[in-house]
Amino acid sequence: EPEVTQTPSHQVTQMGQEVILRCVPISNHLYFYWYRQILGQKVEFLVSFYNNEISEKSEIFDDQFSVERPDGSNFTLKIRSTKLEDSAMYFCASSEDYTDTQYFGPGTRLTVL
Amino acid sequence: DQQVKQNSPSLSVQEGRISILNCDYTNSMFDYFLWYKKYPAEGPTFLISISSIKDKNEDGRFTVFLNKSAKHLSLHIVPSQPGDSAVYFCAASAPHNAGNMLTFGGGTRLMVKP
C-alpha cells in the first residue's frame, strides 16, 4: 500500500540554524500539506501546496517557513532560523484531489536546543 | 481555537465491548469529517470519514455518526480489540475554502483491556 514517507525521523538542531524536513508524498497525489504537533497539544495545520504554489497557510507559517517541491517526488519544509518553540513533530500529508482524504507520514521530530 | 473539541481525554473499554468516541465542532462551514488513529511515534492513520450530506458511514468494525444539528460526531468501534488502543483524533474541513486544511480535536486516548 502506498504511503507517505518522511526523513529524517528525528532532527536535532541548535537555535538559529536552518533545517529542511523532507517528505515523499504518495506518487499520484497532487495536494501536499504540512502539519505540526507540539508535545501535549493539538495537531495544527501549517500549509497546503498545489501546482507549485501555496494554497493556504496558517498564522504559524510565517516568513521563517517555506515549502518547495524541488523535483517530481520530494516535498520539503524549510525553517530558516529555528527557535526553541519550533520543537515539535512535523507531519507531511498528501491527498489525491482537493477534497480527498489526507494521508499522513510518520513524522519528523524536531528538537531545537 | 476550539473549533473541534474532544472532551474526553481518555476512555477505557473491555475487549469485545463497544467503544464510543465523541467529537463536537462549532464551525458550521465544516462539511467533511474524519477520524484518525495515532500510535506513539507514528503519524495519524486514516480510519473513516463522513460527508455532511450523510448521517452515518460504516466500515467494518468502525461506524461514524454525524448529527449536524448538534454539531456532534461519534466513532463507534464494535467489537473493541486490544490493538485498537491508541489516540483517536477527529478532524474537520471545509473543502470549499482554498487549501482543504484539517482542523483537529485534541484527541482521546482509547485503552482496550483484554
Name the pLDDT band for A98 (thresholds 50, 70, 90).
confident
| A97 pLDDT above the threshold of 90 | no
Nearest CA in chain B to A33: B101
* Nine cell digits for residue A90: 512535523
Q: Quick check: B95 contacting A, CB < 8 Å?
A: yes
The burial class, CB within 10 Å (0-12 / 13-18 / 19+), for A61 is buried
Query: pLDDT tens digit string along B31-60?
Result: 999 999 999 888 999 999 999 999 999 999
Residue A51's SS3 state is coil
Residue A74's SS3 state is coil
Is B95–A104 a contact, with Cβ atoms under 8 angstroms apart? no
Mean pLDDT of B9-35: 95
Query: To the nearest whole angstrom, how far is the Cα of B46 from the nearest Cα of chain A?
Result: 7
Nearest in space to A107 (alpha carbons), one of B39, B33, B49: B39
| B3 pLDDT above the threshold of 70 | yes
Query: pLDDT tens digit string along A7-20?
Result: 999 999 999 999 99
> How far apart, in whole angstroms, are the C-alpha atoms of residue A107 and residue B114?
30
Tally Cβ neighbours within 10 Å of residue A6: 21
Name the pLDDT band for B98 (thresholds 50, 70, 90).
low
| B69 pLDDT above the threshold of 70 | yes
Cβ-based interface (< 8 Å): residues of A facing B: 4, 6, 31, 33, 35, 41-45, 48, 55-58, 91, 95, 98-99, 101-107
Q: How many helices (H) and strands (E) does chain B have?
A: 0, 11
Of B91, B100, B107, the CB nearest to A98: B100
| Mean pLDDT score of chain A | 93
Q: What angle do CA B109, A91, B106 make, to 5 degrees?
A: 30
What is the pLDDT at residue B41?
81
| A37 pLDDT above the threshold of 90 | yes
DSSP state of A101: P
What is the pLDDT at residue B32?
92
Q: Quick check: B88 contacting A, CB < 8 Å?
A: no
Q: Is-contact A2 A101, C-beta < 8 A?
A: no
| A1 pLDDT above the threshold of 90 | no
Q: Where are the beta strands (DSSP E) in B60-102?
A: 62-67, 72-77, 86-93
What is the pLDDT at residue B35?
97
Q: Is-contact B10 B111, C-beta < 8 A?
A: yes
* Nine cell digits for residue A21: 524536513
Query: To the nearest whole angstrom, how far is the Cα of B89 from the nearest Cα of chain A?
Result: 9
